[in-house]
Amino acid sequence: MKYAFFPGCVSKGGCPELYQSVKQVYPRLGIELEEMTTASCTGAGVLQEKDLRLGDILNAHTLALAEEQGLPIMTICSTCQGVMSQANHRLATEPGYLDDINRVLAEEGLSYRGTTTVKHFVWILLEDVGEEKLRQAVKRPLTGLRAAPFYGCYIQRPSAALGFDEQPARAQSLETVITLLGAEVVDFPGKTRCCGMPLLTINEPGSLQMVAHHTSDAKEHGADVMVTPCPLCHLNLDGLQTKAAKQDRREIDLPILHLPQLLGLAMGLEPRALGLKRNLVPTTSVLEKLGVA
């Protein structure tokens, strides 16, 4: 199981604990990674607001690099995943589009044939590593921990571009992983909703309202912790939770873990190695619950 690893900007920027924790867990699952150092940012849907084709050119460049390596791409960010999946989908389905983009890539001596698959780490866990191997990797089952999933929009919608028809289990992938790690899934209506991150620049109170709503709602449904495969959601749900709680005049204090952090805990890894001290909402309550503190 070897992948071209696309870490994304945020795991190298605002959420370094995500990069740190995925580095800890992947070798224990029989995964090999080759990091894509010359691939650009996907555009995160933001660059695409200005120029969709430019975004598709940049992503086709990344897809072509992986194709040359003969490797599928592994992402650790819902947004990177969604944006690249959408680009791949357009290149595969819009008549003449791949040729148009390839004319631009040709001047760099590149061509994309459309064969690269892009998979988020959470899908790889279930589809490639497999439930049995994942169970074997669990050394400290998260028994008694109640975890609320929070997906991030780009790994849920539009489902047509994300391969949900061929792989319907992807829609529930977080719940499946949480269960396999021994924790209890806390289902709540906000798990597939927007975290508010893209709204932050134009409507900060609205963005914070989403943070306060989802985190407090998960807590009211009994969650000890929230887990997300999206570092952009993490920036909002963890980074701005205190500000959101203040705006909403309530206490929330719900720890938000990156998926590899939760997985690492179940593998019996040290909290410090997983960067759990770097999350802004303290994660001590989670560690106490697991008897790790």
Partner 1 sequence: MLTTFRIRRFNPEMESPQPYFQDYQLVTERSDTVLDALIRIRETVDESLTLRCSCRGAICGSCGMRINGHAALACKTKVASMVSSDETIHVEPMNNMPVIKDLVTDMAGFWEKIRQVQPWLQPTGPAPEGEYLAAPEAMNHLTGVMHCIMCGACVSDCAALEVNPDFVGPAALAKAYRFVADPRDGNSSSRLRELNDPGGMWDCTRCMECIEVCPKGVGAMDRIMTLRAKGIEHGVPSTCGSRHTEAFADIIEQKGRLDEPMLAVRTFGLTNLRQLFSFLPMILRALPRRKLPISGPLFRPIPGIDRIRRLFRRAKEPR
State the nearest-atom distance from the C-beta of 6 to partner 1, in Å.
11
State the nearest-atom distance from the C-beta of 53 to partner 1, in Å.
6
State the nearest-atom distance from the C-beta of 30 to partner 1, in Å.
28
Q: Is the Cβ–Cβ distance between 65 and 4 less than 8 Å?
A: yes
Integer Cα distance of 176 and 100 in angstroms: 40
41 pairs with which residues across the strands?
none
State the nearest-atom distance from the C-beta of 259 to partner 1, in Å.
18
State the nearest-atom distance from the C-beta of 103 to partner 1, in Å.
8
Nearer Cβ to partner 1 (15/269): 15
- Reduced to 3 states (helix: H, G, I; strand: E, B; else coil), residue 184 is strand
State the nearest-atom distance from the C-beta of 40 to partner 1, in Å.
5
Q: Report residue 139 CA to chain centroid gap.
A: 23
Nearer Cβ to partner 1 (103/135): 103
Integer Cα distance of 145 and 23 in angstroms: 24
Nearer Cβ to partner 1 (104/292): 104
Nearer Cβ to partner 1 (40/143): 40
Helices 259-266 + 16-25 axis angle, to 10: 40
State the Cα angle at 141 between 139 and 143, rounded to 5°: 160
Nearer Cβ to partner 1 (266/271): 271
Q: How many helices (H) and strands (E) does the chain have?
A: 13, 8
Nearer Cβ to partner 1 (14/141): 14
Structural element, H or E, at residue 219:
helix 204-220
- Reduced to 3 states (helix: H, G, I; strand: E, B; else coil), residue 35 is strand
- Reduced to 3 states (helix: H, G, I; strand: E, B; else coil), residue 69 is helix
State the nearest-atom distance from the C-beta of 231 to partner 1, in Å.
11
Nearer Cβ to partner 1 (183/252): 252
What are the strands of the beta sheet with 118-120, ordered from one edge?
Answer: 32-35, 2-6, 73-75, 118-120
Q: Is the Cβ–Cβ distance between 183 and 146 less than 8 Å?
A: yes
Which residues contact partner 1 by CB under 8 A?
9-10, 12-17, 37-41, 43-54, 57-58, 61, 100, 104-105, 107-108, 153-154, 156-159, 189, 193-194, 196, 198-199, 201-207, 209-210, 239-240, 242-243, 277-280
Structural element, H or E, at residue 65:
helix 52-69
Q: Is the Cβ–Cβ distance between 85 and 170 less than 8 Å?
A: no
State the nearest-atom distance from the C-beta of 2 to partner 1, in Å.
21
Nearer Cβ to partner 1 (35/220): 35
